[in-house]
Amino acid sequence: MFLRPNHRDKDGKDHTYWSLVETVRTPDGPRQKTICYLGELNSSAQARWLRTVEVFNDQGEAQQLKLFPSHVALPADDPQVVRVLLNKVRLERTRQFGSCFLGLELWKRLELDHFFEQAVDGESADVPWSRVAALLAINRLCAPGSELAIEQRWYPSTALDDLLEIEEGKINDTRLYRCLDRILPHKTKLERHLKERYGALFGAEFDVLLYDLTSTYVEGAAESNPMVRRGYSRDHRPDCEQLVIALIVNNEGFPFSYETFDGNRTDVSTMETILRMVERKYGKARRIWVFDRGIVSEENLAAIRKRDGQYLTGTPRSQMKRFAAELLAADWTRVRPEVEVKKVAIPQGEETYILCRTSGRKEKEKAIRNRFSNSMETALKGLEKAITTGRLKDRNKMERRLGKIQARHPQVNDLYDLALRDTGEGVRLFWQIKEDHKHWRESREGAYLLRTNLKAETAEELWSKYMQLTEAEASFRALKSELSIRPLFHQLEPRVKAHVMVAFLGYALWVTLKHLLQRRPSIAPNPSASGVDNSQPLSPMRALALLSTLQSADIVLPTTDGHEIRLRRITEPTAEQRSLLQQLGISLPEHLQFNRKCSVDSAIA
């Protein structure tokens, strides 16, 4: 690593600008990579200093210094002149900066710093609890990990001590656990605060609510947590006890509320609880609920109607038999090249049903049926051959083998007539396809049924509104993948709930970043000029990954008098990073100067 001069002729004078560079290996050979720019270190013969910096000694006293290379001849009577040994300049204390700085900016955009200052900073503490809460949420956004992993690996590698003004050695897993206990009682107020901020920042409305559930499993016995039970595992971990999480978002994915349930709670039994919870927090209103068929029951729909609410929901496929004639009719409306819909009103009813059919889904279901049918027919032919050749003579064994074949193919078992019959030549297996069943299965493949009490909307509008349910599914994908809400390692119920709350905070930052990336027009529309492809907005994870290479570091300048000057600076962003920061309306600080004890320029004896 070394200082490189860059000469420029300006206003008839020669100016020299210095940059700190290092040599890196590339496929094309060694190249010089610029770490940061130090500015002008020497100009003309009349004013020979490169740059004046403000430094602080161990007593906190400020002093202005003028930096010169050690080989430049200078007057010896200027106490502010410092001669730098360029061949001994080094870089120390590199820290992750970009993604953490972005997380903190999102935290401030949502005004969560003020919210938690009022909520949990009522008493004095070595580290304000609001800053510890910010640390937990930013970790969940940038590099999700346990409290122990935060203390030992992640936090020491970041610049959050500078950004949050936290003194060295003050963050440990015990302090993080205690912060979880302090933020949990403010769940309801937090949800209301976020709802207001989403409205102020993005004009978000919450008239249409998308409701869905997921589960997360627990590592360990968790014997002290009565909520953790065995139930239907969406994580394919039936060996672990789990917790059920219900999430309510609007049609743009902004979170409205969430709730936790016992691990063995069925989806259909949660609706009434959620309705009462929403009314208690936000009052009564004529809301539209959108949810899938796993939550549908006549009792749940009656509970929504009782509250003057409206709903649009999926329907069990067993009810599709009622609309067999409509399925076979040709009066479908094509809303997309691969999607057809049809509105079916029930005579003297308050509800409307919408038949939907998707070509891609039809091909998928047909392929699944054919695969199971081929497998079952192969097994039946094998059994038939074994009986015909006399290798299998015991009728009881024949029936058992036939029962096993049927059990292995429940998806298509109803398509076949199967019988073992006595003939003059002995017992024989007879089987054939039920053509009427096959015809019905073919007609319903790719089709699904929606149900609603919404009025005066076309089938296309209702289908489009139901498709917004994918926003809730995307929310769960983000919680489970990018934000790593699973698995749970906490064993106590309050800590498990607080873990879910931190994941909810991480999702609040994630969805804010998502909409900032979507709504802001690109500053540089030419990809070759900025290095950014502006045809599609970046995903939140791609934006975080792009900024993660921005680092803060200490540039240590040894001087000829035996001292060292330490400059805490941020590495120079690339063109792609600069374009992204412009899109987000974020400006990087020139240098870190939030806490003089840990982050400002300093002179070291």
- Between residues 58 and 114, the one the model is more confident about: 114
Tokens representing residue 442 in the block = 């073919």
| pLDDT at res. 334 | 92
Q: In this structure, how many other beta carbons lie within 10 angstroms of the beta carbon of residue 368?
A: 13
Which residues, 6+ apart, have CB-to-CB distance to 524 below 8 Å? 530, 532, 534, 579, 582
Instruction: Judge whether residue 523 has pLDDT over 60.
Output: no
pLDDT at residue 23 in the model: 67
Of the pLDDT bands very low, low, confident and very high (cuts 50, 70, 90), residue 58 is low
Cα atoms in the 13 Å half-sphere on the side-chain side of 215: 25
Angle between helix 129-142 and 112-120 (nearest 10): 140
Q: How far apart are CA 74 and CA 188, in angstroms?
A: 66
The single-letter DSSP state of residue 536 is S
pLDDT of 475 above 50: yes
pLDDT at 164: 94
> What is the rounded average pLDDT of the residues 10-22?
71
323 vs 68: which has the higher pLDDT: 323
Beta bridge partners of 63: 55
What is the predicted pLDDT for the residue at 2? 57
The answer to whether residues 563 and 599 touch, using CB atoms and an 8 Å cutoff, is no
Closest CA to 105 of 113, 93, 95, 96: 113
Q: How far apart are CA 568 and CA 550, in angstroms?
A: 13
Averaged pLDDT, 499-509? 95
pLDDT of residue 596: 41
What is the layout of strands, in order, in the sheet containing 29-42? 2-10, 13-26, 29-42
Structural contact between residues 274 and 499, judged by C-beta atoms closer than 8 angstroms: no
Residue 530: the pLDDT is: 45
- Does pLDDT of 182 surpass 70? yes
For residues 196 and 252, give the distance between their C-alpha atoms in angstroms, rounded to a whole number.
Answer: 15
307 against 525, higher pLDDT: 307
* pLDDT value at residue 63: 57
Q: What is the mean pLDDT of the chain?
A: 85
Closest CA to 485 of 129, 151, 132, 247: 247
Task: Please name every residue paired with 484 in a beta bridge, in sequence order, or none if there are none.
Answer: none
**Higher-confidence residue: 465 or 23?**
465
SS (H, E, C) 562-600: CCEEEEEEECCCCHHHHHHHHHHCCCCCCECCCCCCCCC
- Return the percentage of the chain with pLDDT > 70, whole number: 85
pLDDT at 521: 52
CA 348 to chain centre: 45
- What would the pLDDT profile of 98-140 be if each residue is shown by its tens digit? 999 999 999 999 999 999 999 999 888 999 999 999 999 999 9
- Mind listing the pLDDT tens digit for each residue in 253-277? 999 999 999 999 999 999 999 999 9
Q: Which of 180-189, 323-332, 378-387, 430-439 has the lowest mean pLDDT?
A: 323-332
Residue 81 phi/psi, 5-degree rounding, is -80, 130
Split at pLDDT 50, 70, 90, the class of 97 is very high
Q: Is the pLDDT of residue 52 over 70?
A: no
pTM as predicted: 0.79
Q: Is the pLDDT of residue 85 over 80?
A: yes
Mean pLDDT for the stretch of residues 558-578: 87
Residue 94's pLDDT is what? 92
Q: Are the C-beta atoms of 135 and 150 separated by less than 8 Å?
A: yes
* Averaged pLDDT for residues 42-52: 39
- Please give the C-alpha separations between residue 267 and each of 31, 218, 231, 233, 504, in angstroms, as whole numbers: 59, 19, 11, 12, 20
Token digits of residue 569: 């600076």
What is the percent of the chain where pLDDT is above 90?
57
Per-residue pLDDT tens over the stretch 298-335:
999 999 999 989 999 999 888 888 888 888 888 899 99
C-alpha closest to that of 547 among 593, 513, 522: 513
Kindly tell me the number of DSSP H helices and DSSP E strands found in the chain. Answer: 19, 21
pLDDT for 223: 87
Element (H, E) at 603: strand 602-604
- pLDDT: is 568 or 503 the higher one? 503
- Higher per-residue confidence, 211 vs 286: 211
Distance CA 201, CA 519 (A): 11
pLDDT at residue number 42: 43
Query: What is the pLDDT, as a whole number, of residue 423?
Result: 85
pLDDT at position 45 over 60:
no
Whether pLDDT at 252 is above 80: yes
Q: Which of 35-44, 397-406, 453-462 has the least mean pLDDT?
A: 35-44
CA 79 → CA 63, 64, 86, 560, distances in Å?
Answer: 10, 10, 20, 13
> Per-residue DSSP letters for 342-399?
EEEEPTT-S-EEEEEEEHHHHHHHHHHHHHHHHHHHHHHHHHHHHHHTTS---HHHHH
Q: 9-18, 362-371, 375-384, 425-434: lowest mean pLDDT where?
A: 9-18
Higher per-residue pLDDT: 487 or 81: 487
Question: Which of 185, 250, 215 shows the shortest CA–CA distance to 498?
Answer: 185
Q: How far apart are CA 255 and CA 479, in angstroms?
A: 12
Three-class HEC string of 111-154: CHHHHHHHHHCCCCCCCCHHHHHHHHHHHHHHCCCCHHHHHHHH
What average pLDDT does range 145-171 have in this prediction? Answer: 93
Question: What DSSP element (H or E) covers 26?
Answer: strand 13-26
155 has a pLDDT exceeding 60: yes
